[in-house]
Chains A and B, each alone.
Chain A
């Protein structure tokens, strides 16, 4: 007996440790999110290109598209254009799409669509950039103004970073005559950026124009200009109007350099409008989608490796042990009386088709009608099998009738009843009626309500989305549950209802 207990304890310990360690490995090493709420933003960016094609010439449109070098992963990219040939090529760290057509006429619309998300696993690629450049030649008053500006900048800065920052601030200072002179009455960000570039080039600090798109949903926008410089290890980004350093996280780098976003040959009035929206997606599914780009291979050997259809089935199946556990606790710890051991779990499974409230109503109606039929059959003195067959057929007819009736009434919910397990209902009716005859109506009611209660509870617990996700993603949890079930197998304490049942003892003791 003792060795058996030791054996059992060891087994439980092994199962629980195994379950916990596998789950912990999944969570902490593989980094699988613990809840389904761990969603990632998914951005859907549309760039709509409109222009008027001139009838004579062949048309060639070139537009920059995001290079997606780091931080972001593209899930889907499409170029929507009917008669145009499409080619994408990389130029100096930029990506450019070229649409071309021999003949086009009138208003033309092309679409570029990109679906992207933040990179699921952050693995920084090596980056490099220039750290030195030649000065841009300037002459005359501009040269004097530039040098006059540079002197205080040098004084107020310690390194490249602060130097650039200071330079931008000086250029943006509208009270500075030197800056005003350089800007020559054109205070657009583009021009300011150009002046900043000029200033910095004199100090041999390379700086680059960066055009970004802000990831904000449902807001029309145009590319925003930023400046960046390479400090030897990383790019430093600067706002050309404030000198603020650091690119906000919601900016998506679209292209770099001085060129315009779009160039059109054989057409005019080209405009590009951006529109974007975001949706949230389960991190797991996202990881699946970005599989090729990231190291989400670990998902191959989880239940997520199954075809989607099968996954749905398993999502229900892995919850059955949870339902059984509920019944186990209700029966052995609480002492609730139910019809059969696993009938409540099966009824709970049926509830997911019918929805809870409707399921309970249906169960009650069908069982009540079935019971009355059963009590009528009792008078006919039939043998068990024929009687059961009659009840089963009656249940089928009843279900068909309810389906038809509710369909006519426009209640689509009623159709789901077809999947209500008829055999379970039949057996429930049969056993309930036997209980009724032998133990009386009150006991039968008690058992029926107990069954319904257990089924409801099991159903509610089995359909908690977080729990379904958790068990489905970390199936090793089932091992821990088996450990608990094993422990329950040798539980010898009182059931909750026994505390009430044996109350008579205590009344006496108190008296």
Chain B
């Protein structure tokens, strides 16, 4: 009991945010329920982003009824690689990534061969709501398959590494690079076994990583060091993330982005309940940073001014950036 209390105090001192605090102080406070569909439905997110001129993977088509499944071939057209996603899927479930064609069939990114009927069945499952949050009817979207930049080649296993930035009221507070592993099956979700690597907000240099709640330095599949990697276009990512507040209106979000080798930074999706493992990856508690941002907001409000995306990014980079590299 005493041990637990000590742990509690130690975590609190380091500003580690727990689920209860995240829900009570951030998700419930800053995220208006009525705005949830914008982030919960990837199609709406995409439409908003396109309208705001923010780069997203190109949309090939939407299937919203059983009958429209017949049009799958038409939508795919000449594309040899594409992604099928449920519009309201959670945690990367229900996503099929087709990397190539093979003898009239499709080859997924992990090398599995699937037929056209299987794709149709999968879409049908998506429509019935198998992967959606509340189990209600859903839509399927077919979109451009992101090809990750070569920089990630050495530190990821299959799949697409993505960058998650937590944004509070337009201020990016913490960033993490998520690297798929063999265990995660090419998915970039930490609970499925992907690695999270903290990123310095100012420089875009990676810090150490977290894998299944442990701190690690090397990728388990490639054994290459995951820290000290310079992410290209870092300021671009930061501005993209900061701009998402204006895009969706939600005050506390996780912005998931990818770096395509041709198209550069793209927004994949937004998350209204971003996970907390990012803290382990950055070896830093969220609460300290969110409190700093909240203090800044109070201050600005008192002065009656608001900051632009660039000013906000500059503020957080000054405030939270330039973390000295850790020893060992």
Contact = CB atoms under 8 A, between A and B. Distances in A.
Contacts of B118: 381
Nearest to A509: B10
Interface residues of B, number: 35
Nearest to B124: A383
Given A381-B118, A504-B280, A438 B20 contact: no
A98 interface: no
B72 interface: no
Interface string B32-62: 0000000000000000000000000000000
B227 to A, nearest CB: 14
Contact of B19 (A381, A489, A495, A506): A495
Nearest to B90: A438
Given A381-B118, A384-B125, A438-B93, A502 B11 contact: yes
Given A494-B11, A502-B11, A383 B125 contact: yes
Interface string B117-154: 11001001100111000000000000000000000000
Nearest to A506: B10
A274 to B, nearest CB: 61
Interface in B6-30: 7-8, 10-12, 14, 16, 18-21, 24-25, 29
A498 B16 CA distance: 10
Contact of A505 (B16, B91, B191): B16
Contacts, number: 80
B121 A492 contact: no
A501 B4 contact: no
B306 interface: no
A435 B153 CA distance: 31
Interface string A486-508: 00011111111011011111111
B91 to A, nearest CB: 8
A412 B112 CA distance: 51
Contacts of A502: 11, 16, 213, 279-280
A504 B214 contact: yes
A16 B12 CA distance: 30
A501 B16 CA distance: 11
Contacts of A6: none
A439 B191 contact: yes
Given A502-B279, A505-B280, A508-B215, A493 B21 contact: yes
Given A383-B124, A499-B4, A499-B8, A492 B21 contact: yes
A504 B20 contact: no
B279 A384 contact: no
Contacts of B7: 499, 503, 506
Interface residues of A, number: 29
A122 interface: no
B128 A385 contact: yes
Interface in A1-18: 1
Given A1-B29, A499-B8, A501-B213, A492 B18 contact: yes
A499 B2 CA distance: 13
A381 B114 CA distance: 13
B203 interface: no
Contact of B18 (A1, A385, A493, A505): A493
A506 B11 contact: yes
B29 to A, nearest CB: 7
Contacts of A491: 20, 24
A101 to B, nearest CB: 78
Nearest to B25: A492
B213 A495 contact: no
A332 interface: yes
Contacts of B8: 493-494, 499
A442 to B, nearest CB: 11
Nearest to A434: B130
Contacts of A509: 10, 14
A503 B212 CA distance: 12
A223 interface: no
A489 B29 CA distance: 13
Interface string A47-72: 00000000000000000000000000
Contacts of A33: none
A335 interface: yes
A490 B316 CA distance: 28
Nearest to A381: B121
B215 A383 contact: no
Contacts of A504: 210, 213-215, 280
Contact of A332 (B4, B20, B29, B214): B20
Nearest to A492: B21
B14 A505 contact: yes
Contacts of B108: none
Interface in B259-282: 279-280
Nearest to A335: B19
Closest 6 CB pairs of A and B: A492-B21, A384-B128, A494-B18, A381-B121, A499-B7, A492-B24
24 contacts: A335-B19, A383-B128, A385-B128, A434-B130, A438-B192, A439-B191, A490-B24, A492-B21, A493-B18, A493-B21, A498-B11, A499-B4, A501-B213, A502-B279, A504-B214, A505-B11, A505-B14, A505-B16, A505-B283, A505-B285, A506-B7, A506-B11, A507-B215, A508-B283
Interface of A: 1, 332, 335, 381, 383-385, 434, 438-439, 489-496, 498-499, 501-509
Given A335-B19, A381-B121, A509-B10, 18 more contacts: A381-B118, A383-B128, A385-B128, A434-B130, A489-B24, A490-B24, A492-B20, A492-B21, A493-B20, A493-B21, A494-B8, A498-B19, A499-B8, A499-B11, A502-B213, A504-B215, A505-B11, A505-B285
Interface of B: 4, 7-8, 10-12, 14, 16, 18-21, 24-25, 29, 91, 93, 117-118, 121, 124-125, 128-130, 191-192, 210, 213-215, 279-280, 283, 285
